[in-house]
Structure 1
Amino acid sequence: MPQSSRPTSRPLLTGLLLAVATGLVIPLQGRINGALGATLDDGIAAAVVSFTTGLVLIAAIGLALPKGRAALRRILPALRERSFPRFYVLAGGIGALFVFAQSFTVGLLGVALFTVAAVTGQTLSGLLVDRLGIGPGGKRSITGVRILGSVLTIAAVVWAVSPRLGAAADVGSLLLPILLPVVAGCLMSFQQAMNGTATVHYGSPIAATLVNFVAGTVILWIAWLVKLSLLGHGHALPAEWWYYLGGPMGCVFIGLAALLVRSLGVLVTGLGMIAGQLLGSLALDLVLPAPGTVVAMPTILGTLLTLFAIIVATLPWPKGALSSRRPGKGQPGQSRKQDSNQRPVG
């Protein structure tokens, strides 16, 4: 049955604002998990704590809410009936891979270069995932407008983080480390599409979020146990409660992303979250700056350009905008059909 490529249940503006709001939590989650990793002297242990607390929270929510329990009961029947490819339940492993990429490359690349690499991968793969129709919203064409919006987004992120790129000037020697966040970013679009499709069949993003956290938690626990046997453990868990907010924030991010891709598509959902990520980073740098942080003008202007890029990618442009196809180059008989149905465009 053909699927519509237009939003079906949520106005575009509302969904886009939700995507931006969801992206706002990512920098704060990164700041918390980074601080926890430094306190524990173990980045993998911090990821384990984040995923485990998120798993406990989403399991409690799913069991407490009637709709959540109903959605959880649909997980096994959906897998038995192959309502979607079974490997979609491993989407949480992509989140674990992203955490691995952060743990092993941020120290080498720096946060700025890591962000550029991950955003580039996510934006480009968002176009591909929408074109393949992997997400629940069906296929969405790769138009000139969507390509322009994607290119503007990547350029905007590079501009926004450019004041922090000085330490990573020798990009050539970092080519291989850069590939890891690029791949992780590419897979993030697939994760959102897989979660969105699973959510349709489960009936709630709660079930999809729970399955994600189960897969990611298992993978990270295995990785941490291997690391523990080889290198030993780090420091004890801190007593401050705010160190444990990273997992709940991950629940918000994964759940809303799975819900939004159905109406917005993978690309626009990703662009909205990228904008929220830059806005959240800017707000953190202004309100709770890390030591040595300086908010430069390129960061502000690059963030504004990202918002403009999203407008370019989401506005209802006239059909064929920025297309290289010229009038008269269509299929045989197209001109006669257009003559009989043509209406003026205001």
Structure 2
Amino acid sequence: MTSHKLPIAVGMPLAVVAGLGIAAQGRINGALGARLDDGLAAALVSFGTGLVVIIAASLLLPSGRRGLRSMLPALRAKKFPRWYIAAGAIGAFFVLAQGLTVSIIGIALFTVAVVTGQSLSGLLVDRIGISPAGKRAITPIRVISAALTIAAVIWAVSPRFAKADDIAHWLLPVLLPLAAGFLMSFQQAMNATQTMHYGTPLTATLLNFVAGTLVLVIAWLVKVGVSGLGKALPTEWWYYLGGAIGCLFIGLSAWLVRGLGVLLTGLGTIGGQLLGSLMLDLIFPASGTVITVATWLGTLLTLMAMVLATLPWPRRIKG
């Protein structure tokens, strides 16, 4: 597999933009979940609307149609493991983890768990070399950047931590977002590999939404069988933007990994998530919003960690 050349000065700002999209989608889906009193239904609405958008884009855009024509030949030729097309199930697991645990551990601890898992797996995935960017050494500067990012995120969200509870109350629930964050880097690598062979991120994104929607439909049907239908869907149009935003950041991340690698893409999106959350809290503050000096300085430190990871370092890998 080969990577396309992408200057860091171009790629990292785009990764931040993808992170801004994640923050915006999280706020929209969170509001929809609260409105429906059902996080699973909100996740299904998000994936379902995103699936409609990406199907339309794949059929209307020339690159999307070319990608669809390339999909079956790539699968028949086994140019990559066929189970890569199930990468969207990881996205479904992420939103399920969010719906199941945020009410227990809070959004702050959820964010820290996801970032920790994503930073650690970014190093691992790059070292294994399963993305088109190939193997990238676990150098001291990359380890320091990942550790600094985790510390910075903890600092930035620390004002949102509720009063300390019994550790047994949140220890087990926090493992779900930790696992979801850890799997996100693998999802990005799998999407990037598919993008390379399809020739467009549109087709990889489409398969993500197909797989994720199927998983969520099954989970929702089980829930309906147990507890029945929930509240009616709202009529406000903005509740349904989450899926379209998801199409943008999944496709953009799949394209960026080919040139930046998984770790740098992940650090950029983490920085974008914090910046996006801060902007949303300033412009559209949610209930319980807390912004302190730690919020600003933690966000700044995250961006510094992102820059640190881009500094030149020997790339040769032995073995």
What's the TM-score bracket when you normalise by the shorter of the two chains?
A: over 0.9
Match of 2:254 among 258, 274, 277: 258
Q: Which residue of 1 aligns with 2:132?
A: 136
Alignment: residue pair count: 316
- Alignment check: 8 A CA contact 2:29 2:242 kept: yes
Alpha-carbon shift at residue 42 of structure 1 (Å): 1.4
Mapping of residues 204-219 of structure 1, within 5 Å: 204-219=200-215
Q: Which residue of 2 aligns with 1:93?
A: 89
Q: State the partner residue of 1:295.
A: 291
Q: What are the residue-to-residue correspondences of 1:293-332 with 2, within 5 Å?
A: 293-317=289-313, 319=314
Alpha carbons 1:71, 1:206 under 8 Å: kept:
yes
> Structure 1 residue 172: deviation in Å?
4.4
Where 2:174 maps in the other structure, the secondary structure is helix
Structure 2 CA distance for partners of 1:149 and 1:315, relative to 1, 3 Å: same
**TM-score, normalised relative to structure 2:** 0.96
Q: Secondary structure at the match of 1:74?
A: helix
Query: Is the aligned partner of 1:271 residue 2:267?
Result: yes
Please tell me whether the aligned partners of residues 137 and 262 of structure 1 are also in contact (alpha carbons under 8 angstroms).
Answer: yes
Aligned to 1:127: 123
Residue 8 of structure 1, CA deviation: 3.4
Cα distance in 1, alignment partners of residues 157 and 34 from structure 2: 23
Identify the range of structure 1 (283-292 vs 295-304) with the bigger mean alpha-carbon deviation. Answer: 283-292
Which residue matches 2:55? 59
The residue type equivalent to 2:16 in the other structure is V
Cα displacement string for residues 56-92 of structure 1 (whole angstroms, at most 9, x for unaligned residues): 0001001001111010111111111111000101100
4+ aligned runs moved over 2 Å, structure 1: 166-173
In structure 2, what is the Cα distance between the partners aligned to 1:284 and 1:66? 35
Q: CA deviation at 1:168?
A: 4.5
After TM superposition, give the deviation of residue 166 of structure 1 in Å: 3.0
Moved more, 123-132 or 65-74: 65-74
Contact 1:257–1:269 under 8 Å retained in 2: yes
Q: Distance in 2 between matches of 1:95 and 1:167?
A: 30
Q: Which has the larger radius of gyration?
A: 1
* 1:34 equivalenced with 2:39 (yes/no): no
Give me the TM-score of the superposition, normalised by structure 1.
0.89
* Map 1:183-202 → 2, pairs under 5 A: 183-202=179-198
Distance between the aligned counterparts of 1:305 and 1:96, measured in 2? 30
Amino acid of the structure 1 residue aligned with 2:199: G
1:233 aligns with 2:223: no
| Structure 1, gaps ≥5 residues long | 321-329, 331-346
**Structure 1 residues 225 and 100, CA gap change in structure 2 (3 angstroms):** same
Residue 26 of structure 1 deviates from its aligned partner by 1.3
Amino acid at match of 1:60: A
Residue 153 (structure 1) aligned to one of 118, 134, 149:
149
Code of the residue aligned with 1:52 in structure 2: it is G
Q: Name the residue aligned to 1:339.
A: none
Letter in 1 for 2:94: F
- Please tell me whether the aligned partners of residues 189 and 266 of structure 1 are also in contact (alpha carbons under 8 angstroms): yes
Cα distance in 2 for partners of 1:197, 1:50 equals: 25
Q: List runs of 5+ in structure 2 lacking aligned partners.
A: none
Cα distance in structure 1, aligned partners of 2:169 and 2:239: 35
Match of 1:163 in 2: 159
Deviations along 1:300-342, one digit per CA (max 9) or x if unpaired, are 000000000011111114x39xxxxxxxxx9xxxxxxxxxxxx
Alpha-carbon distance between aligned partners in 1 of 2:46 and 2:212, rounded to the nearest angstrom: 10
Contact 1:109 1:168 in 2 (8 A): no
Alpha-carbon deviation of 1:167? Answer: 3.2
Contact 1:110 1:168 (C-alpha < 8 Å) held by counterparts: no
Cα deviations by residue, 1:113-147 (Å, 9 ceiling, x for unpaired): 00000100000000000000011100000000000
Aligned partner letter, 1:101:
A
Report the equivalent of 1:78: 74
Counterparts of 1:173 and 1:21, CA distance in 2? 35
CA distance in 2, matches of 1:172, 1:130: 34
- The percent identity for this pair of structures is 64
Contact 2:105 2:174 in 1 (8 A): yes
Partner Cα distance (2:136, 2:49) in 1: 36
> CA–CA distance in 2 between the matches of 1:127 and 1:49?
33
User: Is the contact between residue 89 and residue 215 of structure 2 (CA under 8 Å) also seen in structure 1?
Assistant: yes
Name which of 8, 22, 26 aligns with 2:4.
8
- 1:9 Cα shift? 2.2
CA distance in 2, matches of 1:169, 1:151: 25
Q: State the alpha-carbon separation in 2 of the partners of residues 41 and 176 from structure 1.
A: 23
